[in-house]
Amino acid sequence: MTDGCPCGTPRTRGKICFVGAGPGDPDLITVKGRKLLEQAGAILYAGSLVDRAATRYAPPDCEIRDSKDMTLEEIVDWLREKAARHALVVRLQTGDPSLYGALIEMTRPLEREGFDWEVVPGISSAMASMAVARETMTLPEVTQTVILTRAAGRTSMPEGEDLESLAAHHCTLCVYLSATLIHEVQRALRAAGWREDAPLLVVQKASWQGEEKIVRGTLADIREKCQAEKIGSQAMIVASPALGSSAWETLVRSKLYDPAFTHRFRRGLRRQHESS
């Protein structure tokens, strides 16, 4: 991108793309994200949660740096400096950049300085956790709502978003950043009236080859099971009335695929009979 600086000299600056790397498996990046990595002059990846393998698509001369030990200011400085030298700079983030990714804190100063930036979405760890556990987030007449949230830790929760209030919906809850706060998740679910035998799922490092752990339990025993598996970080906690449904004997069918249901792309059987 070319712009004018206050002194009147034209300047060339690259674009900064905030790319979702997905949950861990380098194959779970989007095609668009991968194409950007292939063209990047510099990549700053969040090494605490993104495997360096995620940068395998980078060209050989690409400048690659792990941001694990950097402050937000240092990250912004790095992106700014590299964008002065390369046409494309990628900030590679875990999962989807819009979830717990400090996205706006990074983009605000860059936006103010007139940098061109873009976000490429990624597969969030909640989706990956459900996939590896072969579970569904929604199920007809069981739950049609998903809440992506976290337990209050060092970051407090805004009013009305405490876990207990959210759990009162009895829908699917995907709890990020709370592996060390399972007791707090249990407390909130109990306070919201979830039964002791309600199923819970905890997935650590979903989609990381050889490192993934899937723990299934109930509200009563999930904490002990996680302790036994030594799960202390990088885990997704899921509470949902739909967990385990692949083994249920009876299910309400999705209307979309019901032979009697008419929609935009298919005429339901009953209608056909009625009109014939």
Footprint of ligand SAH (CB under 6 A):
23-24, 49, 94-96, 99-101, 124-125, 128-129, 176-177, 203-208, 234-236
Two structure tokens written together for 140: 């007809």
The answer to whether the beta carbons of residues 148 and 176 sit under 8 Å apart is yes
* Least Å from the CB of residue 212 to ligand SAH: 7
* Least Å from the CB of residue 263 to ligand SAH: 31
Which residue has the closest beta carbon to ligand SAH? 95
Comparison of 152 and 261: residue with beta carbon closer to ligand SAH = 152
Q: How far apart are CA 98 and CA 94, in angstroms?
A: 10
The answer to whether the beta carbons of residues 83 and 14 sit under 8 Å apart is yes
Comparison of 225 and 268: residue with beta carbon closer to ligand SAH = 225
Integer angstrom CA distances of residue 88 from 39, 91, 121, 137, 241: 7, 10, 17, 36, 44
Integer angstrom CA distances of residue 211 from 20, 38, 201: 20, 27, 17
Comparison of 41 and 95: residue with beta carbon closer to ligand SAH = 95
* Least Å from the CB of residue 185 to ligand SAH: 11
Neighbours of 160 (CB within 10 A): 7
Comparison of 39 and 180: residue with beta carbon closer to ligand SAH = 180
Close Cβ partners of 239 (under 8 Å, ≥ 6 residues apart): 167, 172, 173, 175, 185, 189, 194, 198, 199, 200, 201, 219
* Least Å from the CB of residue 61 to ligand SAH: 29
Comparison of 43 and 127: residue with beta carbon closer to ligand SAH = 127
* Least Å from the CB of residue 109 to ligand SAH: 20
